[in-house]
Structure 1
Amino acid sequence: MMFPVVGGLGLASNRAADTVDQTSGELAKGELPLVTTILDMNGAPIAYLYDQYRIPLEPNQIADTMKAAIIAIEDKRFYDHQGVDWQGVMRAAAKAGVEGETSQGASTLTQQYVKNYMAFVLGADDESAAWEKATEATIGRKMREARVALQVEQQMKKDEILAGYLNIVPLGNQTYGVGAAAKAYFGTTADKLTVPQAALLAAIANRPSSLNPGTNPDKALERRNLVIDRMKDNRAFGDDAEEAKKKAEEYKAAPLGVVPDLQILPKGCVGAGDGPIYGFFCEYLLEYLQKSGITKKQLQRGGLTIHTTMDPDATKAAKASAEQQVAKTTNGVANAMSIVAPGQDKHRVRALVANRDFGNNAELGQTARPIPAEVVPFGAGSIAKVFTAAAALDKGVAGIDKTIDVPKVYTSRVYRDGNKGYTVKNAGDYKDKMTLTEALASSPNTGFIILSEKAGLNNVVDMAYKLGMRETLQGVNLGGEPLKADKSNGPSQGDQFKQGNMGSFTLGPGATSILELSNVAATLMSDGRWCPPTPVEKVLDRDGKEIALKEQPCEEAVNPDLAHAMVQGMSKDTISGTAADAARNAGWTRPAMGKTGTTENHHSVAFLAATPQYAGAVMTYADGNNPQAICPNPIRLCGNASGVFGGQVAAPTWFNAMKAIHDSKGLPPAPLPQATRYR
C-alpha cells in the first residue's frame, strides 16, 4: 500500500530504482571493509592495515545473548515485520525538520543495517559526510531507506540481516561489529558474550562516542541496564515474570567488565614487530605494492593477505648488529642495513633495519622515514668504484688481473674543476701499479679516475643504473630530493653527473639508496641478472584468490661472464683489503665479494658485500639537521675532524649480522662463481 507513496516521492524513477537495487544487492552480498594482514616469509603476522577493525562473523558465531540484546533495545518486532515499520516511518517523516526532531526513530534493524552500510561501506571515502547523508532528516531519505530495507528482506534471511547489522555497526574505539568489540572490550569472542557484556555492546551501538565505557562509564552503565530491562520485557530471560526480574537485577548489578587495556589490533607500520623492528620493511612494502597496482583503499579495506619475503631471523640479526655498532639514541648518526637474496626469478628483500626504530619519537631514537629503502642525501663513497670497474671491463679497457696506473696525484684532462683540471690524490701509500682486483680491495682514487676516463663517464653512470642504482640515479636530483612529475626540480642525479661531466661520480659523493646498493650486489651474484628488490611473494584477496601485481620484469643487466669477473675482482676486500680487519674481528671465513666506501668529508661510510646466499649493504651517515664528520670509539659526530672509515663501522655491522644469519641457518660456505673472461 505504501509503494504509490514512494512512487509519488519520485523514488520509483529508473535512476532511483537502479540505485535502490544496487544498494540492496550489495547488502545481500555483504562485502564489508576488512583488515589486511601482512605476513613474514614463514606465515606469521607482522602488521595489520585497516580503516575499520572488524572480525566478520556468521550468524551461528554470534551469541544468542547478543541477538536478544540488540533486538530488545532497537527492534523488538524484528522477526514479525518485513523490514519497515510503516506507521513509524510516516510519523518520523512528518516530524522531520521540526526543531529537536531527527529521523532516527522508527528505524527497524533492517533499516539501520541499510543506513550503516551506506555510511560505512558505500561512504568509505568520507565516513563523516556519508553518515550525515545517511541520517539526514528528510522524507526522501526515509523512503529510500525503506525501499532498500524491503528488498533486503526479500533477498536475505532474518538471521543473515541481524548478523549483517551486528557485523557492521560502529562500537567505538576503532571497532566495528561485535566480533572486534567483544575482543577489544572483554577479551572474548562474540559467541561467548554474557548478558551484561552483550547488553553493553547493544547499549553503545551507533552511540559509541557519547556512551564510551572508558570516558563515560556512568552513562554507559545506565544505558546498559536499560537494555537489560528491555531484554526482560521482551522475555529474553523466560516467561516467569518474577524469575526474569530476579535475573535482570543480577545482570544489572554486574560491573561493566571492560578490560583495563583495550585489546585493539595494532594498526600500520609504526610498532610493527618485536621490538619493534619490522617498521622499515613494512613501509617499503606498502610503497612497493601501491606502485605495483594495489590501491590504498584495497590495503585499508580489502581484507588482503600479503605474503612477504621478510625473514624475521635475518631482520633480528641485522637489527642487533646495527645497534651494536651505533646505539639507537646516538645523536645525529644513523646506521642502516638492507639484505636481499640473489636469484634468477626474484631478488627477495629479507631485511630492512637501522639502529633507529621506525616511529615518531626522535628522542627515543625513532624516525618515520624508511631510511634503509629510501634514497638518503649522502654518498656511498668508493663503492661507486664498482661501477667504474664494471664499465671498464665492459668496454674492454681493463681486466681483473691486468694492472692499472695508480699515481699518487692525478689531474684529469677530461674532467674539470671550474676553470682548471680535476685533481685527485690517494689517501695513503699505494704501489704505482696494481691489478684491478688489488685496486678494488685497496681503493686508490687516482686509478679509478683514470679508468673512468677510459671507459667514459656516461658508460660508468649507465652501468650503475643497470646494476641496480635506478631510483638513485633517475628518481632524485643531485641533492637526493625526489623528482617532481614535471621535473621542475631536475635534472635527475644521473643526468646531472653526465651533463656536468663530473668525474667525481666514481668517488661516490651523490645521494644513495642502501637497498639499491644491496641489490647491486645481488645482481652481480645472480650472474648479472637484475630484478627489482621485491618485498612480496603474493597478495591474496579476501576470498583467497591471488591478485596479479604489476612488477618490473627481471632482465640481464650485464652478461654472466662480466658479473663473475666482478665478483672475483671484489673477492679480496674481506681478505686483504679495507674490510679485512672487520672480517677477521667477526670471525668471518666464508668466500664473499665486498667493497667499502667513505665520503671525503666523512659524513657517510658504507659497505656492500655478498655471498652466494645473501647480498647486503650497510650505510652509516649523519642524519641530523647539522651533518658533521663521524668519528669512531665511540661512534659520534665530531665536527670537521678526520673521521671514521667504512671498514670501521659499516663493515663490522655487515659481518656480524651476516655471520649470525648464515650460521643460524646452517648454511655451508659456498664458492664464488669463477671468471672465465675479462681477466
Structure 2
Amino acid sequence: MSTLMGLLMAGIAIPAIGAGGSATTSGVKAFNDLPSEFSVSPLAQQSKILTADNKLIANPYDENRIIVSLDKISPWMQKAQIAIEDSRFYEHGGLDVRGFTRAMVSNFSSGDVQGASTLTQQYVKITLQENALRRDDKEAAKAAVAKTYTRKLQELKYALDVERNYTKEQILAGYLNLVYYGDQAYGVEAAAQNYFGVSSSKLTLVQSALLAGIVQQPTKYNPVLNPKNSQARRNAVLDRMQALGMATAAEVAAAKKVPVANMLGNRKPPKGVCQRSSEPFFCAYMMEYLQKSPQMAVLGKTPAERLKNINQGGLVIKTTLDSKLQAATLKALTDAVPVGNKSNLGAASTVIEPGTGKVLAMAQATDFGDSQLNLNVDQRYGGSQYGYQFGSTAKTYALVAALESGMPLDGTIDAPSASPDDPHMFTRAEMKGRCNSDKDWEVENDYRSGGEMSLAKATAESINTAFGQLVIDTGCQKVYDTMNRMGVHQGDGKPIYNSVASITLGAGTMTPMTAAASYATLAARGKFCEPTPIASITTSNGKVIKVPPTTCKQVVRADVADGVNLLLQGPLSDRRGTAKGVWDVTKRPAAGKTGTTNNHNQSWFIGYTPQRAAAVWVGNVKVARANGQLLTLNGKCFNEYGCKRSVFGGTIAAPVWSKIMTAATRGLPVVRFTEPSAAVRNGNYVALPDLAGRSVEAATEALRAGGFSVRIGGRVDSPIREGRVASTNPSRRAPKGSTVTLLISNGNGSSATPTRTTEQPRTSIVTPPPVPDTTRPGKGKGKPPKPPGGNG
C-alpha cells in the first residue's frame, strides 16, 4: 500500500516536489520513465465535396464531426461543459489534486480504478483512442480507455505535457471538437446541428446544459432515446452552473421549465452522405468515382484506403459541376418527366466539356429515396449493367467510318426502298465476312423511302435502309472499331454486341454519360476524353493534392470530324431534319442526332456545339413486360409537352436538349465549327468508266480491273440493246474497292421507272413522314440480351 501510495501521490500528484522514502523515490522514477511527449494529431473530420462555384454538395465522414474554433462555440456551451466535467479547469495544471486524492481513497476502499479525470485528461484519453482507431489499431484503441493504473499513469503524464504546451483555450476547443455527444454526433458543432438544427455559436443556456450532460454516458443521456434521463442530467448541469455562479437562479429556473421533447423540434439528424446532399445522384457518383477511378490513385492504393482518407481527412474536393447548369438541366428534364410519375417514364442527361472531359452537369428525373440507381453512369460508378438502347444515334459512327474510308461529303448511298409495312431484307450473302450476322436482316423505314440519296439527306432524315447499306458497303468491322475508339460501351464497361443491328441502328446499349463523351469527341475535332468530375483536391491544411489529368486521345482525324460535324447539322437545320425547329444553327452552330428504338421504347438526342456536348435520354425505365414484350412511349404524357401519339427522338428528347444546351452555352462566345478540308470534301473517289452498251461480262471485267466489286441490278427501260448495260449505280464515281451496281437494259427505249423484281434497281422513292424522325432500328439478329426490367 505504501509503495502504491508513494507512486500515485508522490509520482503523480506532486512529481515536481521532492519527497523522502524509498517508495516515493521509486514512484518518482517510475513516473519520470514514462513517455511524456504527447502529439495531438488532426482529428478525423468531414471532407467537403463542392461544385465548381464552391457550393456544398456533401460532407463525407466516418464520424459526423465538423471542427470549429472556440470563438464559434457559444460561451454558454463552454461554461456548461466545464461546470459538469472539470470546474477547476482554469486552476489546475492537468491534475486536480483534490479530486484525485478523493478518488484514490475510494479506489483503495473499493478495488476500482476510477477517475476524477480533469478535462485535459479526458482530452488525452479520447485523442489516444481516436488516433488508434484511425490507424485501425483496435488493441491500442482498447488500451487507451482500459481501467488500469498503468494507463492512468500514462494519461496523467501526457496531460501534464499538454498543459505545458497548449493554452487552456486550445485544450477546451480540442475537447469540444473531439468528444462524442451521442446519436452519431462527434464534437459540439455536429451535436448542435443534430439535436437542435443550429450552429454551436447559437446554443442557448438550456441547449448547452443538455449537450454537456450527454458526454458522461452518451446512450443513457441521449435525449432522443432517453428523454427522461436526459432531462434529469440537464437539470443537474444547470444546478452546477448556478452553484458555480455561471448562471443566475432565474436563468436556471427558466431553463428547467423547458421539456427536453420540446427542444428537439428543429433537429437535423445525420443521414447517409448522399441522402442529405443537394445533388444526391451526383454525390453518389462522386463517392464511387473517388474510390474506383484510376485517376484517384492519389488518395490511396485501394478503394478502402481512399474511402478512409475521404471520410476522415477533411479534404476539400472541388468538382467540375456547374450548379446553375445542373439546376437548369434538372428543370428541363422534370418539365418533361415529373419525378415520381406513375407512367414508368424516366429522363437523364449529362453535359460534357469537349476536349477536357469535364462533367458539367448530370441529372435525372427520378427520386433518390426510391432508388439510388444512377441512370447516367456506368455500373462501376453506381449505374446499370447495360444502360439503354441508343437507336439511330449509332448512325454517327457510320458517317465517321465512311469519311475515313474516303467517301466524299457529297457522296451518295444506294438505299433500298422500304416502309413500315414493306421492310427491306439485307441477305446473309451481302453481309458475309463484314457483319456478324448469320441471318437475313430485315429493316424498315418509318415512311416509304429509298433510292440513290446523298449522305446529307440520309443523315438529316435518318433513313434506316440508307445506313444499313452504308455500313455494309463501308464494312461493319470498320464502323464497330470506330465506335470503340470513340468510347462506346455498355454500362458494364464491355463493348456493345458486334451485330449489324447494334452497329447500324443502335440495338446495343450505353449510358447518357458515355453518349455525351463520345459525341464530345467530334466537338473536340476528334479528341476523346474520359469523363472526369474532378477540378481539384486540397487537404485540411490547404495543401494541393496533385491529381493527374484525365486521359485524352486523338481517335478521329480532325478533318474527318469536321466533315461529320457538317453532316450532323442537318437533323437540326434541314427542312425535313428529324430535330428541325429545336435549335437555330444560324445563331449558334450545333450538331446532333436523334435516336428512337423499336416499338418507340426509348428516345434520345445527343448534340453539341464546339464548347459543350449533351446527351438526353427519355424513355421507359422498365423496358419490357414480364413476357419480354417491349413497352412503348407512344400515348404517354410528358408534362408541359402534353400527350403524344407517337414519340421519336425529336419529339421530347431534342426539345429538352435544346433547353439544356441553351443554359450550357449562355454567356459563351459563339464558336463555329471548322470547315471540312478539300480532302474530306472530295474523298478518295475515282471516276467510273462509261460502260453503257457493253455486255455484262465486259463491264464486270472492267470494273473488277479498277478494283471495284460488282453487283447485277434489275432491268430498266433504255434504248440500249436488251441485255446490255444501260447504266451504273453510282453513275459517275465511287470509292475504290466499293460495290458498283450494273443496271441492265430491257430494250424498251424509254427511262420509265421499272417494275419491281427481286433484282430491281433502287429508285428514289420518298413519301413524307407524319412525324419528322426516322430513327427506329430495324428488325433482325444482333440485339444484345434485353436488360432485366427496371435495371435502368
Matched, 1:261 2:266: yes
Amino acid at match of 1:598: T
Helix, strand or coil: the match of 2:57? strand
> Identical aligned pairs, as a percentage?
32
Structure 2 CA distance for partners of 1:425 and 1:371, relative to 1, 3 Å: same
Tell me by how many angstroms 1:380 deviates. Answer: 0.5
Distance in 2 of aligned mates of 1:603 and 1:93: 77
Tell me by how many angstroms 1:104 deviates. Answer: 5.5
Q: For 1:158-177, what aligned pairs fall within 5 Å after superposition?
A: 158-177=168-187
Q: Is the 8 A contact 1:347 1:519 kept in 2?
A: yes
Q: Could you give the per-residue CA deviations for residues 486-539 of structure 1, whole angstroms, max 9, x where no partner exists?
A: xxxxxx335x52xxx656422222220211211122221112222222222212
Tell me by how many angstroms 1:394 deviates. Answer: 1.9
Tell me by how many angstroms 1:606 deviates. Answer: 1.5
Q: Could you give the per-residue CA deviations for residues 115-149 of structure 1, whole angstroms, max 9, x where no partner exists?
A: 32234454148799987654343444434433433
1:657 to 652, 657, 660: 660
Structure 2 CA distance for partners of 1:113 and 1:579, relative to 1, 3 Å: farther
2:470 to 451, 456, 467: 451
Distance in 1 of aligned mates of 2:436 and 2:553: 37
Helix, strand or coil: the match of 1:674? coil
Matched, 1:372 2:376: yes
Matched, 1:339 2:346: no
Tell me by how many angstroms 1:60 deviates. Answer: 4.0
The aligned counterpart of 2:4 is none
Structure 2 CA distance for partners of 1:524 and 1:90, relative to 1, 3 Å: farther
Q: Is the 8 A contact 1:74 1:108 kept in 2?
A: yes
Distance in 2 of aligned mates of 1:217 and 1:527: 65
With normalisation by structure 2, the TM-score equals 0.70
Q: Is the 8 A contact 1:315 1:351 kept in 2?
A: yes
Tell me by how many angstroms 1:646 deviates. Answer: 1.7
The aligned counterpart of 1:220 is 230
Q: Is the 8 A contact 2:570 2:577 kept in 1?
A: no
Tell me by how many angstroms 1:570 deviates. Answer: 0.8
Q: Could you give the per-residue CA deviations for residues 188-233 of structure 1, whole angstroms, max 9, x where no partner exists?
A: 5545544433322211124333222344333222212212222344
1:645 to 643, 648, 652: 648
2:449 to 394, 413, 430: 430
Q: For 1:278-289, what aligned pairs fall within 5 Å after superposition?
A: 278-289=279-290
Q: Could you give the per-residue CA deviations for residues 525-578 of structure 1, whole angstroms, max 9, x where no partner exists?
A: 112222222222212221222222234332222222111111011110112377
The aligned counterpart of 2:414 is 405
Q: Mind listing any 5+ residue stretches in structure 1 that lack a counterpart?
A: 238-243, 362-366, 484-491, 637-641
Q: Could you give the per-residue CA deviations for residues 226-256 of structure 1, whole angstroms, max 9, x where no partner exists?
A: 122223444545xxxxxx6666545545665
The aligned counterpart of 2:530 is 532
The aligned counterpart of 2:731 is none
Q: Is the 8 A contact 2:516 2:615 kept in 1?
A: yes
Helix, strand or coil: the match of 2:592? strand
Tell me by how many angstroms 1:111 deviates. Answer: 2.2
2:190 to 168, 173, 180: 180
Distance in 2 of aligned mates of 1:92 and 1:565: 90
Q: Mind listing any 5+ residue stretches in structure 2 that lack a counterpart?
A: 1-9, 13-25, 300-305, 379-383, 418-423, 639-644, 682-792
Tell me by how many angstroms 1:305 deviates. Answer: 2.2
Tell me by how many angstroms 1:310 deviates. Answer: 1.8
Q: For 1:183-222, what aligned pairs fall within 5 Å after superposition?
A: 183-186=193-196, 189-191=199-201, 193-222=203-232
Structure 2 CA distance for partners of 1:153 and 1:625, relative to 1, 3 Å: farther
* Corresponding residue pairs, total: 617
Q: Is the 8 A contact 2:392 2:462 kept in 1?
A: yes
The aligned counterpart of 1:53 is 64
Q: For 1:438-587, what aligned pairs fall within 5 Å after superposition?
A: 438-469=457-488, 472=489, 480=491, 482=492, 492-494=494-496, 497=498, 504-576=502-574, 580=578, 582-584=579-581
Q: Is the 8 A contact 1:204 1:212 kept in 2?
A: yes
Q: Is the 8 A contact 1:415 1:421 kept in 2?
A: no
Q: Is the 8 A contact 2:437 2:500 kept in 1?
A: no
Distance in 2 of aligned mates of 1:6 and 1:369: 64
Deviates more, 1:623-632 or 1:414-423: 414-423
Q: For 1:15-34, what aligned pairs fall within 5 Å after superposition?
A: 21=37, 24-25=38-39, 27=40, 29=41, 31-34=42-45
1:632 to 610, 634, 648: 634
Tell me by how many angstroms 1:666 deviates. Answer: 4.8
Q: Is the 8 A contact 1:442 1:577 kept in 2?
A: no
Q: Is the 8 A contact 2:317 2:536 kept in 1?
A: yes
Structure 2 CA distance for partners of 1:249 and 1:585, relative to 1, 3 Å: closer
The aligned counterpart of 2:47 is 36
Distance in 2 of aligned mates of 1:144 and 1:625: 65
Q: Is the 8 A contact 2:132 2:141 kept in 1?
A: no
Distance in 2 of aligned mates of 1:93 and 1:433: 101
Helix, strand or coil: the match of 1:268? coil
Matched, 1:318 2:341: no
Deviates more, 1:299-308 or 1:178-187: 178-187
Q: Is the 8 A contact 1:583 1:655 kept in 2?
A: no
Structure 2 CA distance for partners of 1:517 and 1:105, relative to 1, 3 Å: same
Distance in 2 of aligned mates of 1:464 and 1:206: 63
Distance in 1 of aligned mates of 2:130 and 2:441: 64
Tell me by how many angstroms 1:672 deviates. Answer: 2.7
The aligned counterpart of 1:486 is none
Helix, strand or coil: the match of 2:152? helix
Q: Is the 8 A contact 1:452 1:503 kept in 2?
A: no
Amino acid at match of 2:581: R
The aligned counterpart of 2:159 is 149
Distance in 2 of aligned mates of 1:651 and 1:247: 65
Helix, strand or coil: the match of 2:155? helix
Q: Is the 8 A contact 1:89 1:142 kept in 2?
A: no
Deviates more, 1:60-69 or 1:539-548: 60-69
Helix, strand or coil: the match of 1:303? coil
Structure 2 CA distance for partners of 1:560 and 1:36, relative to 1, 3 Å: same
Distance in 1 of aligned mates of 2:334 and 2:117: 59
Distance in 1 of aligned mates of 2:581 and 2:137: 60
Helix, strand or coil: the match of 1:406? strand
Distance in 1 of aligned mates of 2:265 and 2:352: 42
Q: Could you give the per-residue CA deviations for residues 150-173 of structure 1, whole angstroms, max 9, x where no partner exists?
A: 433333223321221111111234
Distance in 2 of aligned mates of 1:127 and 1:261: 38
Q: Is the 8 A contact 1:37 1:47 kept in 2?
A: yes
Q: Is the 8 A contact 2:484 2:495 kept in 1?
A: no
